[in-house]
Every structure is written in C-alpha cells, then in structure tokens.
Amino acid sequence: IAGITQAPTSQILAAGRRMTLRCTQDMRHNAMYWYRQDLGLGLRLIHYSNTAGTTGKGEVPDGYSVSRANTDDFPLTLASAVPSQTSVYFCASSQREGLPQFFGPGTRLTVL
C-alpha cells in the first residue's frame, strides 16, 4: 500500500543523545516535510525539501538537521537532544510544494 512510513513509532531518549527519525515514501513525491506537533501550538514546520538534493529551513529548525539523498527518504536528525524537543513528529510528502500533503503516522519522542 502506497504511503509514508516513519520509524520508530515512539522513543524515549536521554538528553544529549543523538537521534535520527526515519521517513520513507513510495509515492515518488517531489516534496517532503518534517513537522512537530505540540499541544496549543499546532503543527510547526521544521525542515522541508522541494526535491531530492535540496533542503530548506522551516519555522523551527534549530537543533534539527535533514538530508535528502534520494526521492524516497528524508531523515530528521537531532544532534544533541534536549527536553524541549519532546513532541510528536510527523513526516509528510506532496507531489510538489503547496499541493495536498500525505502524512505519516508520527513518531512520539520523549527526551528526558
């Protein structure tokens, strides 16, 4: 079934540790996105990629990095996790920027 997969489903992480959240889509979408969702703050864009090989900063990029080596994969890395990065992280993709987005099931991350 076509769609987006995210891994892990959930994770508890000690502060200061490095963590990579994985995201893979099989729809051959050009654009991919990472959001975090926090109560009262809604969905906030962390980083995005309009096409393989390019990335851009969203609304809340500090402490996060991304890469887009190919069309299908868009990993999000926390170099040194902090408690304020505790959140639910969603990966999404769209045929191109601005078109409807398809979301993954999310990764619930807790940083202690």
Q: Which is nearer to another protein, 78 or 92 (CB)?
A: 92
User: Taking the complex as a whole, how short is the minimal distance between the CB of residue 93 and another protein, in angstroms?
Assistant: 11
**Does 42 help bind another protein (rule: CB under 8 A)?**
yes
What is the sign of the dihedral through the CA atoms of 47, 85, 9 and 35?
negative
**Does 112 help bind another protein (rule: CB under 8 A)?**
no
User: Taking the complex as a whole, how short is the minimal distance between the CB of residue 8 and another protein, in angstroms?
Assistant: 14
Among residue numbers 44 through 103, which ones bind another protein (CB under 8 A)? Answer: 45, 48, 58, 90, 92, 96-103
Catalog residues that contact another protein under the rule CB under 8 A.
4, 40-43, 45, 48, 58, 90, 92, 96-106
